[in-house]
Amino acid sequence: MPSMEIERRAFLKAAAAGAVVLLGPTLASATPSARELYLNACRFRDGRFGIAAFDAAGSVLRAWTLPDRGHSFAVSRDGSRAVAFARRPRGFALAFEPRNDREPALFGAPPGRHFYGHGVFADRDRLLLATENDFDGARGVVGVYDVAAGYRRIGEFASGGVGPHELVMLPDERRIAVANGGIETHPEAGDAKFNLATMAPSLTFLDFATGDVVAEHRLDPALHQLSIRHLAVDADGSVWFGCQHQGPAGDRPPLLGHAGPDSSPVMVLGQPNISASMSNYIGSVARSADGSLIAASSPRGGRIIVVDLKGRLVATADLADGCGVAPAGATGILASSGRGEIAEIEDGEATPVAQTSLAFDNHMALVV
C-alpha cells in the first residue's frame, strides 16, 4: 500500500490537474439564494465521489467532485464557506463556497496525519479545527488551520484520546467537545483495529485556544467497546453522543447518551430492542433547529430515531441505508439515504421529500 505522503501528493496533484470539478448550478432550476441549503457527501451515477448542495425540497442546486469518498463538513457561522473532509484514512479536504461558483481549493493533512472526516470553524471563523490521526504515535490530535492563509496548518493539540471522530463547538465558543472513538488504526493496515480488547473511548472537553483539557468522561468499564463517534449540542448546551459497538454482535448496549463539562454521561434508550433495531450502530447525530430534539441514524439498521431532551423516544422512521440527518424547520429533521432518498421526519412520521439519482453518503449539513 502506498504511504500516506505519496497518496497525499497524488491527491493534490490530481486536484491541480482538474479532478475537483464544480458541476452546478445547472442541475436544477431552484435558486441558490434559498435561505436553507443542505450539503451531503455522495456518489454520482457515473461512480465519481463528490458533494451535493440541495434545498429543503430536495432540488440539487450544484455539486462538486472529490478525489475520493467524502465524509462530513465544517460550515462557517454565516454559511459563506464550507470544508468537506475525506473519509478516514484519506488526507484531503475541499474548501468551497456553498452558494456560488467560485473555484474550490483542495488542501491536505500534513505527513504523518490523516483526517477523520470532521471539523469545525472557530475563533469567529478565523480558524478551522479538524480531527486527525497521529497514526505512528497512536494518538488523536486536533489540527489547527488558518482560514485566511488558504487553510495553512499552523498547529495541533492532543484530542485527549485515540481515534477522535466528530468535534463540536460549545455555546460559549471557547470550548469544544471531541468524541474519541478509542480505536487504534493505521492507514497502511487498511481497516484493521488493533486494540478492541483494550479500547477506552472518551468524550473530552477542550479549550481550543490553549489545548487544555477542561473535562474528560469515560463510560462504564462494561461499555468500553462502545466507540463514541458522533455529537450534537442541544438547546441547554449538553452534548449528545452516538456510539458504535465493537464487541460481540449479540450484545445490546445503549447507543445514545449526553454529558457536559460539569455533568457525567447519562445513557438513554437502553432497551435491547432499540439497540437491535439500530444494529448496534449510530452513523450520525443531529439536533433540531430549536435544539429541543435529537435525531440519530443507523444506516446498518435502516432506522432513524428522534428523542427529546429527557431521552424519551418521540419518533422512529424506517429509511434503508439512511445516515445523513440535519435540522428542517423548527423541530423537523431532514434525512438522506444511500439510495438517493430525502425524507423529512416531523411529528413522529417520515414524509418522502425527493428521490434523486445520487447515492448520499455519511453526513448532511445545514447551511444557514
Q: Which three cell numbers stand for residue 217?
A: 468522561
Distance CA 352, CA 367 (A): 21
Quick: pLDDT tens for 183-216. Answer: 999 999 988 999 999 999 999 999 999 999 999 9
Quick: pLDDT tens for 258-268. Answer: 999 999 999 99
**Which pLDDT value is given to residue 9?**
56
The closest alpha carbon to 200, from 164, 178, 173, 227, belongs to 227
Domains with residue ranges and CATH for the chain: 4-367 (2.130.10.10)
The closest alpha carbon to 110, from 75, 84, 135, 87, belongs to 135
**Which pLDDT value is given to residue 347?**
77
Please say whether the beta carbons of 322 and 302 come within 8 A.
yes
Give strand pairing partners of 303: 298, 318
* Sheet-wide strand order for 139-146: 113-122, 127-134, 139-146, 152-158
| Reported pTM | 0.93
**Which pLDDT value is given to residue 12?**
52
CA 341 to chain centre: 19
Q: Which three cell numbers stand for residue 8?
A: 497525499
Q: How far is CA 174 from CA 132, 168, 169, 210, in A?
A: 20, 11, 8, 10
φ/ψ region of 227 (left if φ > 0, alpha if ψ in -120 to 50, else beta) reads beta
**Which pLDDT value is given to residue 116?**
97
Helix (H, G, I), strand (E, B) or coil at 137: coil
**Which pLDDT value is given to residue 21?**
62
Number of CB atoms found within 10 A of residue 84's CB: 28
**Which pLDDT value is given to residue 204?**
98
Could you say which residues of the chain have pLDDT below 50? 1-4, 6, 14-19, 25-33
Helix (H, G, I), strand (E, B) or coil at 221: helix
Q: Which long-range contacts (CB under 8 A, 24 or more apart) does 236-242 make?
A: 236/291, 236/309, 237/170, 237/171, 238/263, 238/309, 239/168, 239/170, 239/177, 239/203, 240/285, 240/287, 240/294, 241/179, 241/203, 241/265, 241/285, 242/282, 242/283, 242/284, 242/285, 242/296
**What value, to the nearest 5°, has the Cα angle with vertex 210 and ends 205 and 215?**
20
